[in-house]
Structure 1
Amino acid sequence: MSVKGSPGVTDASNLLRGKNDSFPFMMFGPGETKMAHKTDEYVWKDYYFAFFDIYKELILGLAK
């Protein structure tokens, strides 16, 4: 699995309304940009399950 940025657009930008430029915000998840927003959109099962561990590490790391 490789990690890279995606130039896509998301409704998550609505969460930033009323916030200034210093508000910390990050959006990420499993999948590939080339598969997004299509009739047959999908995420590889390995990517999906790998993100359980990534999210868990992120949340536990922030709780410290």
Structure 2
Amino acid sequence: MTALSSPNDDLRRFSDVLEDLGDAPGEKLSLEELVAAFGERGFGAMILILSLLALLPWP
């Protein structure tokens, strides 16, 4: 179990997980940390996060 996960991961809201990731030490966030933080819900969360990149205006 990592420092970002807790026994009540199924009861945590998506926004709570994002806040915990924002409070984590370090300047960079790895894909491994994202997957570990979301646990079983990681697939849906990763689709959402990666699809948000498509909304950014690219040159």
Normalization by structure 2: what TM-score? 0.35
* Higher-RCO chain (CA-CA 8 Å, sequence separation at least 6): 2
Normalization by structure 1: what TM-score? 0.33
Higher helix share: 2
